[in-house]
């Protein structure tokens, strides 16, 4: 066999329709490659007798496939359940925690606002507010409320009003 | 009604291996049955030729191969043909069997073997052999080949590419091509011997 034949052997043994022209031209010149091509062609067109697969093997393999499939499906369902139940339990636990221990961020916000306020006049403002409340209480006790006005209050004359 | 059923059957046949595998993995057992029906003969024929006259071993390895296929299907990537992937699993299990039984596979001696001579008188016998002789003898004569040559011949005969055979046998394409040439030449010689009764 010549060294150039090496380039054609794969083409001959593959025998693709696309490569056929390439090796046929070579086979016209090389009797060894022509013989290889014709021998392979003869052999590959001959069916090799294959004994039947026993039914017992068919059953065994298909049963194994079936049980593997069931296991896989069962594993998937179990995993999905674990995820769902886990997520539900985590949500309930989180809700409970938030209710019992409110998040720290609210208190933090309050502290931040308090820092921005001017506390220097706090005492004076507090005293004035308390005094105003005291006065308004006093007025209510004298005049009464709109629903129950104080009957002992002196009546203001019209003339005086006009004046 | 018949036409409709025939059409459905045709559509089923057209489904690719990867579609069947995905179907099985998503929970359809019928898809595996179809895949199994498609390739069981190829694997069984391959194992029978790799382990001639060892029916119980063939059955055992056949079953083990499919069990491994079932187990590894989620990892299957369609870089190779499913048939080549499955045969590779079968091949590895066969090699394991040989190792357990201390049957040493000598690759070097096979690859360095000289091509058999083919005298002119044999050429006449070869040319006179008809198709029925061929069909009768090829299966028997295959058993006389050395393991690697037989494996390459069987796989190529079943349409497995040389690249895939090289991956299965864990060797170069050139080695596979050399084995294939020796296999053809040896088969030719042995077929003539079978015909002449020598």
Q: Measure the CA–CA gap between A27 and B142, rounded to whole angstroms.
A: 26
CB contact under 8 A, A61 and B180: no
Task: Tell me which chain A residues have a C-beta less than 8 angstroms from the C-beta of B32.
Answer: 62, 65, 69
- DSSP state letters, A40-101: HHHHHTSPPP-PPPPHHHHHHHHHHHHHHHHHHHHHHHHHHHHHHHHHHHHHHHHHHHHHHS
Q: Give the closest-approach CA distance of A45 to chain B in angstroms.
A: 9
What are the CB-based long-range contacts (under 8 Å, 24+) for A19-23? none
d(CA A154, CA A139) in angstroms, rounded, equals 15
Domain ranges of chain B: 2-100, 107-196
Min Cα separation A13/chain B (Å): 8
Mean local confidence (pLDDT), A131-139: 88
A144 forms beta bridges with: A149
Q: Is A114 left (phi over 0), alpha (psi -120 to 50) or beta?
A: alpha
Tell me how far apart the terminal alpha carbons of chain B are, to the nearest angstrom. Answer: 58
Is the Cβ of A60 closer than 8 Å to some Cβ of chain B?
yes
Which one of B31, B128, B157 would you mutate to disrupt binding with A, by most A Cβ within 10 Å of its Cβ? B157
- pLDDT category at B13 given cuts 50, 70, 90 is low
Spatial distance between the Cα atoms of A44 and A37, rounded to a whole number of angstroms: 11
The closest alpha carbon to B107, from B166, B49, B162, B184, belongs to B166
Give the torsion sign (CA, B21, B23, B25, B30): negative
Q: Would you say B149 and B186 are in contact if contact means Cβ atoms under 8 Å apart? A: yes
Would you call B59 and A39 a contact, using CB atoms and an 8 Å cutoff?
no
- Locate A156 and state its tokens: 């203001």
Report, as an integer, the average pLDDT of A37-45.
Answer: 85
CATH 1.10.10 for domain B107-196, yes or no, is yes
Chain B contact set for A9 (CB, 8 A): 177, 181
Tokens of A147: 């629903």
Position B33 confidence tier, pLDDT thresholds 50, 70, 90: very high
**List of chain B residues whose C-beta atoms are within 8 Å of the C-beta of residue A51:** 44-45, 48
Residue B37 has a pLDDT of 92
Give CA A57 to chain center in angstroms: 45
| Segment (H or E) for B139 | helix B131-142
Supply A100's token pair.
């019992």
Residue A84 token pair: 């769902």
Does the CB of A89 have a partner CB in chain B at under 8 Å?
A: no
**A149 in helix, strand or coil?**
strand
For the segment A140-154, the average pLDDT, to the nearest whole number, is: 74
Q: What is the pLDDT of residue B60?
A: 94
Which element (helix H / strand E) includes A140?
helix A122-143
Q: What is the pLDDT of residues B128-174, one digit of tens each?
A: 777 777 777 887 888 888 888 988 998 888 888 888 899 888 889 88
* Least confident stretch, B14-28, B32-46, B68-82, B115-129: B115-129
Say whether B107-196 and B2-100 share the same fold. no
Query: What is the pLDDT confidence band of residue A105, given thresholds at 50, 70 and 90?
Result: low
pLDDT at A155: 62
pLDDT at B71: 92
Of A10, A39, A62, the CB nearest to B36: A62
Residues 6+ apart with CB under 8 A from B24: A65, A69, B31, B32, B35, B73
pLDDT above 70 covers a percentage of chain A that reads: 85
Predicted complex ipTM: 0.73
Q: Is A41 on the interface with B (CB under 8 A)?
A: no
* Chain B residues in contact with A62 (beta carbon < 8 A): 32-33, 36
CATH number of B2-100: 1.10.1740.10
Chain centroid to CA B165: how far?
10
């Amino acid at each position: 066999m010549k060294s150039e034949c090496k380039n054609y052997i794969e083409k001959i043994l593959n025998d693709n329709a696309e490569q056929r022209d390439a090796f046929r031209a070579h086979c016209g010149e090389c009797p060894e490659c022509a013989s290889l091509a014709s021998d392979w062609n003869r052999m590959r067109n001959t069916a090799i007798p294959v004994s039947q697969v026993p039914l017992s093997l068919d059953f065994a393999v298909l049963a194994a496939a079936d049980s593997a499939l069931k296991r896989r499906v069962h594993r998937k369902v179990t995993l999905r359940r674990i995820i769902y139940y886990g997520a539900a339990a985590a949500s309930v636990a989180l809700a409970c925690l938030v209710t019992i221990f409110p998040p720290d961020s609210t208190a933090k916000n309050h502290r931040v606002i308090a820092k921005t306020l001017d506390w220097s006049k706090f005492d004076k403002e507090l005293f004035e507010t308390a005094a105003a409340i005291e006065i308004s209480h006093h007025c209510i006790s004298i005049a009464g409320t709109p629903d129950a006005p104080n009957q002992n209050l002196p009546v203001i004359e019209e003339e005086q009003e006009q004046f | 009604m018949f036409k409709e059923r025939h059409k459905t059957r045709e559509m089923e046949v057209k489904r690719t291996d990867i579609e069947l595998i995905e179907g099985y993995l998503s929970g359809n057992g019928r898809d595996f049955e179809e895949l199994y029906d498609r390739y069981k003969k190829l694997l069984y024929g391959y194992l029978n030729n790799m382990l001639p006259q060892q029916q119980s071993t063939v059955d055992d390895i056949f079953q083990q191969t499919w069990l491994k296929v079932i187990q590894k299907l989620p990892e299957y990537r369609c870089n190779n043909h499913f048939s080549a992937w499955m045969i590779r699993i079968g091949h590895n299990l066969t090699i394991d069997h040989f190792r357990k039984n201390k049957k040493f596979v000598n690759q070097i001696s096979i690859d360095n073997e000289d091509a058999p001579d083919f005298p002119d008188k044999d050429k006449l016998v070869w040319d006179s052999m008809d198709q029925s002789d061929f069909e009768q003898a090829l299966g028997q004569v295959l058993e006389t080949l050395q393991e690697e040559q037989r494996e390459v011949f069987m796989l190529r005969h079943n349409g497995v590419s040389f690249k895939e055979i090289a991956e299965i046998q864990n060797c170069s394409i050139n080695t596979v091509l050399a084995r294939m040439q020796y296999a053809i030449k040896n088969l030719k010689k042995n077929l003539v011997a079978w015909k002449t009764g020598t």
